[in-house]
């Protein structure tokens, strides 16, 4: 089974090359190869339905116990079959609909990479492996939505879909990490056995919330549903494949896969059934208000995804079976309807459902496929959609009084789905023909084969539902964690559920007849203004505003503002620590300075003030030198004569260097105005206050240093010198002195070089 992934990725990588040779037949070649993959998975069916799952595992990051592992059971096999089977039909379809597109080779690269990633999602047994493939599907979906990249709407929609799903994916990753820690393993098959303990775990709620965020964004659940209709700018094969039958089901798959681990708690049931029911109703309602064929289909897809979430949230045996049946039915009819919509667009240039009519005579095969798929969508008897709807009603009817609101929601959504089924699958093909942009014509075989096969598939499964029992049983078993025995019948007999079905269909037809009136009453523009799409826009906008503000405040580009930011931060940080640690009183109760210290303490600030206020650079430089000399004197007072000596030398050199540089500078210009000078003075005073405080705190402490006595004691005994300063300079700190001499020499060379640079003067050669 991992080899099928390798095969898929290799096929994707070579598809541009294959396209170069196959030319017009690329779609057929790709379709055949993917069909081969489908057969490969079909061969697993006997083993899996007999209850023998397959597992492979390699160590990926052995030190951390992270594996790459794959697991094939009923659930993953069901998905794999859908992914490959529909994939091969879509590959053929794309060959026809994108015929002659200059980037067709690249399209197949993305499409097959997506297909393989999707297979990876459903086959992965390790949570991190699953996440890797999950993000790959988001990424390939981004590339596919943005395939017509000249269109700015396509680029925006692609980015939106990616941002929403990647954000959800990251939340899911956090949830996976928590889950892995709580369960002690990243292997889903191991975690499945630890469900009861995990549901009691302290981190159950956070991890559930995070994982659900991932599943809900991917499967377009309310309020994250908005990206899916916008993604309809993608080429039709992409919409049919990714955004109805496979990728958007990844979230549902995840919920189903983790059901044995996480399901059957109050939180799980409440979250899934509420979100699912709301999504189901909102999706179906919005579908009715749109007129674009693909958007209608996108909203009905959202509705069905909500239904699937609801069913998995209920988690009863019959609900799980109903979910699996709905999954299959929907994948078949929705992909078919999307391809039909693509055919209508292809043949007539029309995407608005109001404009197309009477196409059945010119496009008989497409029309047949459309009607069959619409039957399944509407849940008319003899279609698989009918059987799945029976199962859903049965599951929810079994809930008794508690399920009444859910029953009402399901009924409403299903009735609306009937209406949309008629709108999309029937209305364009019957009635009087109207004027159209292109002369309508039947599409070539590559375009009608896919929808027809899918629609016929729905019919055949609907006629012999018992044949699907083993596969659905295997899938439901995997979801429930205990053997399931579904019973599917072509005709359930007359009962309440059948009556509900009948009323649903009638209600849907009634709604269809009133469609124009409903659309006129409900203002779509008002709804979109408060919709989640708007929320997404506002979030992005707010982020950009925040960024602009940041840029203005923090990134002015002026060095002085950067300095102010740094100084103020440090002052507040260290000042806080100082006051907290030492206290004001303790600071002021320090040692009283001596007269010499007072003199220096007077001299240094005065010199500094002079440096700031002076109008000439030379004065400022000399004043700065005085500050340095004052500091050197302080060193001398505190018993560091060697340091003082160095400081004197450095200060002298610095002044000389400064003077040389100043000589070449243009005259001093005063840039700052009064307010900014006051501000600068405040900042400087704050910095000075901090330094004073720190100094007071430091001097108030008994010195931990034993350096001075050490020198005095060891000067004679170790270094045979009575002059302690000399000994320090040439013996104890000989290397320092060497370094200082080097620095002074280098500085002197710099002075020399500057002297030679002076205009009109030739310095002596070295």
Partner 1 sequence: MNGDLFTLLAPELIVIGGAVLALLLGLGASPGARSAPRALALLSVFAAFLVTWYYGPSPAKPLELAGMRFDSLAYYIRLIALSVGALVLLVHWHLPHPAERGDVFAMILFSLAGIMLTSLANDLVLLFLTIELVSIPTYILVSIGRSDIRAQEAGLKYFFLGTLSAALLVYGFSFLYGAAGTTNLSRMQLSPAGGFVTIGLLLAFAGVAFKIAAAPFHVYAADVYQGAAAPVTGLLGFFPKVAGFVALIKLLFLMQPSDLLTAGWNMPGAAFVFLWVVAAATMTLGNVLGLMQTNVKRMLAYSSIAHSGYMLVALLAGPVASGGPLRDGLSAMLFYIVVYGIMNLGAFAVLALIQARGRPAEELDDLAGLGRREPLAALALAICVFSLMGLPPTAGFFAKVYVFSAAISNGAAGWHGLSLIVLAVIGLINSAIAAGYYLRIVATCYLREPVAEPIAEPRTAGIRLGLLGCCIAILVIGVWPGGLLYMSRLPFYDLSAPPAVATHSNAQSPEPAETTEQVYAKEMNS
Least separation in angstroms between residue 60's CB and partner 1 is: 8
- Residues in contact with partner 1, total (CB under 8 A)? 65
How many Å apart are CA 607 and CA 588, to the nearest integer?
A: 25
Identify any residues that bridge with 410 across adjacent strands, giving them in sequence order: none
Within 10 A of 272 (CB to CB), how many other CB atoms are there? Answer: 26
Handedness of CA 77, 81, 82, 87 (dihedral sign): positive
- Using alpha carbons, list the distances in angstroms from residue 31 to 13, 40, 90: 16, 14, 8
Say which residues have a Cβ less than 8 Å from residue 134's Cβ, sequence separation at least 6. 121, 169, 172, 214, 218, 250
- Position 747 contacts partner 1 (CB under 8 A): no
Question: Burial letters for 369-385: b for 16+ Cβ neighbours within 10 Å, e otherwise?
Answer: bbbbbbbbbbbbbbbbb
Selected binder of partner 1 within 570, 712, 716, 746 (CB under 8 A): 570
- Position 532 contacts partner 1 (CB under 8 A): no
Selected binder of partner 1 within 43, 50, 63, 722 (CB under 8 A): 63
What would the x/- binding string for partner 1 be over residues 173 to 192, using CB under 8 A?
A: xx--xx-xx--x-x------
Least separation in angstroms between residue 16's CB and partner 1 is: 12
- Position 566 contacts partner 1 (CB under 8 A): yes
- Position 565 contacts partner 1 (CB under 8 A): yes
Least separation in angstroms between residue 601's CB and partner 1 is: 20
How many Å apart are CA 27 and CA 680, to the nearest integer?
A: 71
- Position 289 contacts partner 1 (CB under 8 A): no
Please choose, out of 473-481, 486-494, 567-575, 614-622, the segment that lies near partner 1 by the rule CB under 8 A: 567-575
Pull the structure tokens for residue 138: 């988001």
- Using alpha carbons, list the distances in angstroms from residue 169 to 115, 134, 213, 225, 582: 18, 8, 8, 15, 49
Is the Cβ of residue 491 or residue 561 nearer to partner 1 in the bound state? 561
DSSP 5-61: HHHHHHHHHHHHHHHHHHGGGHHHHHHHHHHHHHHHHHTTHHHHHTT--EEEEEEEE
Q: DSSP class of residue 729? A: I
- Position 12 contacts partner 1 (CB under 8 A): no
- Which H/E stretch holds residue 72? strand 66-72
Please choose, out of 141-149, 236-244, 245-253, 494-502, the segment that lies near partner 1 by the rule CB under 8 A: 141-149
How many Å apart are CA 110 and CA 36, to the nearest integer?
A: 19
- Position 578 contacts partner 1 (CB under 8 A): yes
Selected binder of partner 1 within 62, 666, 760, 764 (CB under 8 A): 62
How many Å apart are CA 376 and CA 461, to the nearest integer?
A: 10
- Position 569 contacts partner 1 (CB under 8 A): yes
Selected binder of partner 1 within 582, 597, 731, 740 (CB under 8 A): 582
How many Å apart are CA 646 and CA 640, to the nearest integer?
A: 10
Please choose, out of 87-95, 453-461, 489-497, 548-556, the segment that lies near partner 1 by the rule CB under 8 A: 548-556
- Position 547 contacts partner 1 (CB under 8 A): yes
CA 17: distance to chain centroid?
32
Q: What is the largest CA-CA distance in the chain?
A: 119
Is the Cβ of residue 205 or residue 524 nearer to partner 1 in the bound state? 205
Least separation in angstroms between residue 388's CB and partner 1 is: 35
Least separation in angstroms between residue 744's CB and partner 1 is: 18
Please choose, out of 171-179, 252-260, 297-305, 442-450, the segment that lies near partner 1 by the rule CB under 8 A: 171-179
- Position 162 contacts partner 1 (CB under 8 A): yes
Please choose, out of 87-95, 139-147, 339-347, 708-716, the segment that lies near partner 1 by the rule CB under 8 A: 139-147
What would the x/- binding string for partner 1 be over residues 474 to 513, using CB under 8 A?
A: ----------------------------------------
Q: Which of 119, 118, 160, 335 lies closest to 237 in space, CA to CA? A: 335
Least separation in angstroms between residue 731's CB and partner 1 is: 18
Is the Cβ of residue 181 or residue 490 nearer to partner 1 in the bound state? 181
Is the Cβ of residue 270 or residue 554 nearer to partner 1 in the bound state? 554
Is the Cβ of residue 98 or residue 380 nearer to partner 1 in the bound state? 98
Q: DSSP class of residue 466? A: G
Selected binder of partner 1 within 46, 65, 523, 535 (CB under 8 A): 65
Omega before 413 within 30 of 0, i.e. cis: no
How many Å apart are CA 740 and CA 763, to the nearest integer?
A: 26
- Position 563 contacts partner 1 (CB under 8 A): yes
Is the Cβ of residue 72 or residue 124 nearer to partner 1 in the bound state? 124
Pull the structure tokens for residue 581: 């640690």
Least separation in angstroms between residue 174's CB and partner 1 is: 6
Question: Please, what is the end-to-end C-alpha distance for the chain in angstroms?
Answer: 79
- Position 197 contacts partner 1 (CB under 8 A): no
- Position 548 contacts partner 1 (CB under 8 A): yes
- Position 70 contacts partner 1 (CB under 8 A): no
Least separation in angstroms between residue 188's CB and partner 1 is: 15
Is the Cβ of residue 701 or residue 761 nearer to partner 1 in the bound state? 701
- 3-state SS, residue 149: coil
- Position 60 contacts partner 1 (CB under 8 A): yes
What would the x/- binding string for partner 1 be over residues 661 to 700, using CB under 8 A?
A: ---------------------------------x--xx--
Pull the structure tokens for residue 150: 């000249």
Query: Are the CB atoms for 75 and 475 separated by under 8 Å?
Result: yes
- Position 397 contacts partner 1 (CB under 8 A): no
Which phi and psi angles does 57 have, rounded to 5°?
-150, 135
Burial of 589 (0-12, 13-18, 19+ CB in 10 A): exposed
How many Å apart are CA 93 and CA 338, to the nearest integer?
A: 11
Tell me which residues in 104-133 interact with partner 1 (CB under 8 A).
Answer: 128, 131-132
- Position 462 contacts partner 1 (CB under 8 A): no
- Position 584 contacts partner 1 (CB under 8 A): no
Is the Cβ of residue 547 or residue 639 nearer to partner 1 in the bound state? 547
Least separation in angstroms between residue 244's CB and partner 1 is: 25
What is the signed CA dihedral for 629, 630, 631, 633, rounded to 10 degrees?
90
Least separation in angstroms between residue 82's CB and partner 1 is: 24
Least separation in angstroms between residue 736's CB and partner 1 is: 11
- Position 562 contacts partner 1 (CB under 8 A): yes
HSE-CB for 78 with a 13 A CA cutoff: 31
- Position 550 contacts partner 1 (CB under 8 A): yes
Pinpoint the alpha helices (H) of 349-468: 364-378, 384-397, 404-425, 445-463
CA 345: distance to chain centroid?
33
How many Å apart are CA 21 and CA 158, to the nearest integer?
A: 30
DSSP 581-635: HT-HHHHHTSPPPPHHHHHHHHHHHHHHHHHHH-SSHHHHHHHHHHHHHHHHHHH
Least separation in angstroms between residue 30's CB and partner 1 is: 22
Residues that bind partner 1 (CB under 8 A): 60-66, 128, 131-132, 135-136, 139, 142, 146, 149, 155, 159, 162-163, 166-167, 170-171, 173-174, 177-178, 180-181, 184, 186, 206, 543-544, 546-548, 550-551, 554-555, 557, 559, 561-563, 565-566, 569-570, 573-574, 576-578, 580-582, 694, 697-698, 701, 704-705
């Amino acid at each position: 089974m991992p080899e099928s992934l390798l095969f898929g990725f290799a096929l994707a990588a070579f598809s541009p090359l294959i396209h170069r040779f196959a030319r017009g037949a690329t779609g057929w070649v790709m379709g055949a190869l993917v069909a081969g993959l489908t057969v490969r998975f079909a061969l697993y069916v006997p083993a899996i339905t007999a209850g023998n799952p397959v597992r492979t595992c390699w160590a990926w990051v052995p030190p951390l116990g992270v594996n790459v592992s794959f697991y094939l059971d009923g659930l993953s096999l069901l998905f794999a079959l859908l992914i490959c089977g529909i994939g091969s039909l879509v590959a053929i379809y794309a060959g026809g609909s994108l015929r002659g597109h200059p980037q067709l080779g690249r399209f197949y690269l993305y499409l097959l990479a997506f297909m393989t990633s999707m297979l990876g999602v459903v086959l992965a047994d390790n949570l991190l492996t699953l996440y890797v493939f999950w993000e790959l599907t988001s990424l390939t979906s981004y590339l596919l939505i943005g395939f017509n990249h000249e269109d700015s709407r396509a680029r925006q929609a692609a980015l939106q879909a990616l941002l929403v799903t990647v954000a959800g994916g990251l939340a899911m990753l956090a949830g996976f990490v928590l889950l892995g820690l709580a369960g002690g393993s990243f292997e889903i098959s191991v975690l499945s056995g630890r469900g009861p303990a995990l549901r009691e775990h302290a981190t159950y709620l956070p991890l559930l919330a995070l994982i659900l965020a991932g599943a809900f964004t991917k499967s377009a659940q309310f309020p994250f549903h908005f990206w899916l209709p916008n993604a309809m700018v993608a080429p039709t094969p992409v919409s049919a494949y990714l955004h109805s039958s496979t990728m958007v089901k990844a979230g549902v798959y995840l919920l189903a896969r983790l059901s044995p681990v996480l399901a059957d708690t109050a939180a799980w049931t409440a979250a899934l059934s509420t979100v699912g029911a709301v999504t189901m109703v909102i999706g179906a309602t919005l579908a009715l208000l749109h007129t674009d064929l693909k958007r209608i289909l996108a909203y009905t897809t959202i509705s069905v995804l909500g239904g699937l979430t609801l069913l998995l949230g209920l988690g009863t045996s019959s609900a799980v079976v109903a979910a699996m049946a709905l999954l299959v039915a929907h994948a078949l009819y929705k992909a078919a309807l999307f391809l039909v919509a693509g055919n209508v667009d292809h043949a007539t240039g029309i995407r608005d459902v109001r404009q197309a009519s009477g196409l059945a005579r010119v496009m008989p095969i497409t029309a047949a496929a459309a009607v069959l798929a619409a039957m399944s969508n509407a849940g008319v008897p003899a279609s698989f959609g009918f059987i799945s709807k029976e199962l859903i009603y049965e599951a929810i009817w079994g809930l008794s009084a508690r399920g009444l609101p859910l029953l009402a929601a399901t009924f409403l959504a299903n009735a609306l789905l009937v209406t949309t089924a008629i709108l999309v699958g029937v209305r364009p093909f019957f009635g009087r023909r109207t004027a159209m942009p292109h002369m309508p014509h039947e599409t070539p075989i590559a375009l009608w084969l896919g929808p027809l096969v899918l629609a016929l598939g729905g019919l055949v499964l609907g006629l012999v539902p018992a044949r699907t029992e083993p596969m659905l049983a295997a899938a439901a078993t995997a979801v429930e964690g205990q053997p399931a025995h579904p019973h599917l019948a072509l005709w359930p007999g007359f009962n309440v559920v059948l009556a509900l079905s009948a009323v649903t269909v009638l209600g849907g037809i009634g709604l269809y007849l009133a469609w124009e009136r409903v659309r006129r009453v409900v203002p779509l523009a008002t709804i979109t203004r408060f919709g989640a799409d708007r929320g997404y826009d506002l979030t992005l906008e707010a982020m950009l505003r925040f960024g602009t503000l940041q840029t203005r405040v923090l990134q002015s580009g002026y060095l002085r503002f950067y300095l102010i930011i740094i100084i103020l931060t440090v002052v507040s940080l260290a000042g806080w620590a100082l006051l907290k640690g030492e206290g004001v009183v303790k600071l002021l109760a320090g040692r009283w300075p001596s007269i010499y210290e007072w003199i220096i303490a007077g001299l240094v600030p005065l010199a500094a003030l002079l440096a700031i206020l002076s109008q000439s650079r030379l004065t400022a430089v000399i004043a700065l030198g005085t500050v340095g000399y004052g500091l050197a004197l302080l060193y001398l007072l505190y018993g560091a004569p060697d340091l003082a000596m160095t400081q004197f030398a450095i200060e002298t050199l610095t002044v000389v260097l400064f003077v040389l540089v100043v000589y070449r500078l243009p005259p001093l210009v005063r840039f700052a105005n009064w307010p900014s000078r006051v501000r600068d003075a405040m900042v400087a005073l704050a910095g000075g206050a901090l330094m004073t405080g720190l100094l007071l705190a430091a001097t108030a402490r008994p010195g931990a240093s034993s350096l001075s006595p050490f020198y005095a004691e060891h000067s004679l005994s170790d270094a045979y010198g009575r002059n302690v300063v000399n000994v320090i300079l040439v013996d104890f700190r000989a290397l320092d002195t060497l370094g200082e001499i080097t620095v002074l020499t280098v500085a002197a060379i710099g002075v020399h070089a500057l002297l030679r640079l002076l205009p009109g003067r030739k310095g002596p050669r070295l």
